[in-house]
Amino acid sequence: MIEKSELKLMYNVEWKMSDVTQTRECVDLAEAMDFAKELNCLVTIKGNGMEIVGLFGADSIKDGKTPDGVDYTWMKRRTQ
């Protein structure tokens, strides 16, 4: 039987470059998120039964733009 402490969770970061999907395997979620911030593009992080999609590092919006000047158009839609 494998002990829980021996299990290593892996996370895959996926992104598109020139319409080709690229993938990088990371040893933990922190590494995956740091790598996603370096990429500075829309990514999908998959692992441990979850999936996260987003542009990491966009921590502030001013005049409808992210810190790197990209238009920020996401809007939460509520359904009644």
Banded pLDDT at 36 (limits 50, 70, 90): very high
In whole angstroms, give the CA distance from residue 21 to residue 64: 28
The model scores a pTM over 0.85:
no
Q: Break the chain into its structural domains and give their ranges.
A: 6-80
What is the pLDDT of the chain when averaged over all its residues? 84
Banded pLDDT at 7 (limits 50, 70, 90): low
* Number of helices (H), then strands (E), in the chain: 1, 4
